[in-house]
């Protein structure tokens, strides 16, 4: 008996917020020949949303028309190699949008939530961590305590955002504009922050910190060693993907748990770290590596190596992407923790069925598929803003452009 076929594939872009919050979200909708049967997937590459839209609408749509949406693995492999040159955040996000949408369709056809298709729950909900920031150690402490009072056991502590907000040495005359920071001042301020947090809060909270790849390798090694006494739950993105060889040196020098993967787009980047047990948590942006199909394989690879998952989950992941994270979290034996940015009220209205977080945990929907939908009319009222990004134009005091 013939099944449904794919009749349409298209990208939906939206930026819910009030102007102060700009989240350029990309959702892929895959429609089928069966009335009312469609799937949604996250393809959010917020820094290059129009590039992803172009790939989805102009290249994936004609490639997928007429195919059986249940042949998820075959479609994933076909999309992955169809452009000949493969991987990269634009191509992978387009692939992810289609892939997640197919899993959504399969769940709806089976009458099951996606986590059931993955083998069922290992836990009822996923432990989350939130972001505590402030301009002083006292402000960060207050924010950490607020999250603890809400039931969270894991909190990421920053002070002044990525790279901190310390006074900067004078730059050379004529230095170009950019998002300036002082690496040495940043490191010293973070050590002081965690000195304060452990003295005032103690060790009951699992504290995390995100370096955001902003240090040169030898400084990163020293920084990880200096934070070792503070027993972080993990230190995130200590080095950029281009410097993964240095993780061997870090591992030889200290036992600070390490999380890595936010910028990964290809298995060649994560395989050495996993095979040599050089990290403790994998935290890829699931849409940037190609969707649930790719993430499930990566999760199993990590499980065999004793490495836990901590998928990327900031505000610039669509609620569809967050739902994917959570379904995989509850079905994974080696789950560690889930980053959680929370939703704006307009996002909850725009995406009925958003995952629910309470008392330090986020729960997946028990409805078929992801259990989440999109109000396209409302999404259209919040077009994505254009313009050049400023925060990724990071520079050190002498004016040098560096990793953001």
What is the token pair recorded at 347? 């996002």
Q: Is 119 exposed, middle or buried (0-12, 13-18, 19+ CB in 10 A)?
A: exposed
Average pLDDT, stretch 202-221?
96
Catalytic residue among 38, 115, 129, 162: 162
Shared-domain flag, residues 219 and 293: yes
Q: Where are the beta strands (DSSP E) in 230-323?
A: 234-236, 258-260, 281-282, 308-309
Q: What is the distance, to the nearest Å, from the Cα of residue 278 to the centroid of all Cα atoms in its chain? A: 20
Shared-domain flag, residues 94 and 131: no
Average pLDDT, stretch 239-265?
97
Shared-domain flag, residues 127 and 214: yes
Which pLDDT score, from 0 to 100, does residue 20 have? 62
Check whether 23 has a pLDDT greater than 90: no
Among 87, 113, 139, residue at a domain's last position = 113
245: CB partners within 8 A, 6+ apart:
none
Residue 322 annotated as catalytic: no
What is the token pair recorded at 151? 């039931």
CB atoms within 10 A of CB 30: 29
Q: What share of the chain is helix, strand, coil (3-state, %, to 5)?
A: 40, 15, 45
Q: What is the distance, to the nearest Å, from the Cα of residue 8 to the centroid of all Cα atoms in its chain? A: 27
Provide the residue range defining the domain that includes 139: 117-367
Shared-domain flag, residues 232 and 347: yes
Among 113, 139, 159, residue at a domain's last position = 113
The CATH number of the domain holding residue 64 is 3.30.390.10
176: left (phi over 0), alpha (psi -120 to 50) or beta: beta
Does residue 374 lie within any of the structural domains? no
Does residue 314 lie within any of the structural domains? yes
Check whether 252 has a pLDDT greater than 80: yes
359: left (phi over 0), alpha (psi -120 to 50) or beta: left
Shared-domain flag, residues 124 and 109: no
**Comparing 126 with 388, which gets the higher pLDDT?**
126
Check whether 156 has a pLDDT greater than 80: yes
Shared-domain flag, residues 30 and 169: no
Q: Binning pLDDT at 50, 70 and 90, where does residue 387 land?
A: confident
Does residue 397 lie within any of the structural domains? no
Shared-domain flag, residues 106 and 230: no
Mean pLDDT over the full length of the chain: 96
Q: Binning pLDDT at 50, 70 and 90, where does residue 52 land?
A: very high
Shared-domain flag, residues 200 and 98: no
Q: Binning pLDDT at 50, 70 and 90, where does residue 21 land?
A: low
Does residue 328 lie within any of the structural domains? yes
Average pLDDT, stretch 161-184?
93
Residue 186 annotated as catalytic: no
Shared-domain flag, residues 73 and 142: no
Shared-domain flag, residues 248 and 151: yes
Check whether 388 has a pLDDT greater than 90: no
Which pLDDT score, from 0 to 100, does residue 391 have? 86
Among 86, 113, 140, residue at a domain's last position = 113
Q: In which element (H, E) is residue 90 found?
A: helix 89-110
The CATH number of the domain holding residue 330 is 3.20.20.120
Check whether 390 has a pLDDT greater than 90: no
Average pLDDT, stretch 43-61?
96
Check whether 62 has a pLDDT greater than 90: yes
Check whether 170 has a pLDDT greater than 90: yes
Shared-domain flag, residues 146 and 290: yes
Does residue 64 lie within any of the structural domains? yes
Catalytic residue among 131, 154, 212, 312: 212
Check whether 19 has a pLDDT greater than 70: no
Report pLDDT digits (tens) over 72-120.
Answer: 999 999 999 999 999 999 999 999 999 999 999 999 999 999 999 999 9
Q: Where are the beta strands (DSSP E) in 43-167?
A: 126-132, 154-157
Does residue 380 lie within any of the structural domains? no
Average pLDDT, stretch 118-136?
98
Does residue 398 lie within any of the structural domains? no
How many domains does the chain fold into? 2
State the residue for tokens 């996002």.
347
Q: What's the CA gap between 94 and 268, in Å, rounded?
A: 20
338: CB partners within 8 A, 6+ apart:
126, 127, 128, 129, 310, 311, 313, 325, 326, 329, 362
Q: What's the CA gap between 93 and 373, in Å, rounded?
A: 19
Check whether 242 has a pLDDT greater than 90: yes
Does residue 343 lie within any of the structural domains? yes
Shared-domain flag, residues 235 and 268: yes
Stated pTM of the model: 0.96
């Amino acid at each position: 008996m013939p099944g449904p076929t794919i009749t349409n594939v298209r990208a939906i872009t939206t930026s819910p917020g009030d102007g102060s919050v700009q989240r350029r979200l990309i959702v892929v909708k895959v429609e089928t020949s069966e009335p009312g049967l469609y799937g949604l997937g996250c393809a959010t590459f917020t820094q290059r949303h129009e590039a992803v839209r172009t790939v989805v609408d102009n290249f994936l749509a004609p490639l997928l028309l007429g195919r059986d949406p249940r042949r998820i693995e075959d479609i994933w492999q076909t999309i992955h190699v169809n452009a000949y040159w493969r991987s990269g955040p634009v191509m992978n996000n387009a692939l992810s949008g289609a892939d997640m949408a197919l899993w959504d369709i399969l769940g709806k056809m089976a009458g099951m939530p996606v986590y059931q298709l993955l083998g069922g729950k290992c836990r009822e909900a996923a432990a989350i961590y939130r972001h505590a920031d402030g301009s002083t150690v006292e402000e960060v402490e207050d924010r950490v305590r607020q999250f603890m009072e809400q039931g969270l056991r894991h909190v990421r502590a920053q002070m002044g955002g990525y790279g901190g907000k310390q006074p900067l040495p004078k730059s050379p005359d004529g230095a170009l504009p950019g998002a300036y920071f002082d690496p040495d001042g940043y490191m010293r301020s973070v050590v002081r922050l965690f000195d304060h947090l452990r003295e005032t809060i103690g060790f009951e909270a699992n504290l995390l910190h995100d370096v955001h790849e902003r240090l040169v390798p030898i400084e990163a090694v020293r920084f990880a060693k200096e934070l070792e006494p503070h027993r972080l739950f993990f230190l995130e993105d200590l080095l950029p993907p281009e410097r993964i060889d240095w993780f061997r040196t870090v591992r030889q020098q200290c036992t600070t748990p390490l999380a890595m993967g936010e910028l990964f787009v290809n298995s060649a980047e994560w395989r050495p770290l996993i095979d040599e047990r050089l990290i403790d948590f994998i935290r890829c942006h699931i849409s940037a590596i190609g969707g649930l199909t790719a993430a499930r394989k990566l999760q199993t690879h990590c499980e065999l190596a004793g490495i836990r998952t901590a998928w990327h989950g900031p505000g610039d992941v669509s609620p569809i992407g967050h739902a994917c994270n959570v379904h995989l979290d509850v079905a994974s034996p080696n789950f560690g923790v889930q980053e959680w940015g929370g939703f704006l009220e307009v996002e909850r209205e725009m995406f009925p069925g958003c995952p629910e977080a309470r008392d330090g945990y986020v729960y997946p929907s028990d409805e078929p598929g992801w259990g989440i939908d999109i109000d396209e009319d409302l999404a259209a009222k919040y077009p994505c803003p254009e313009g050049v990004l400023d925060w990724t134009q990071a520079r050190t005091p002498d004016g040098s452009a560096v990793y953001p």
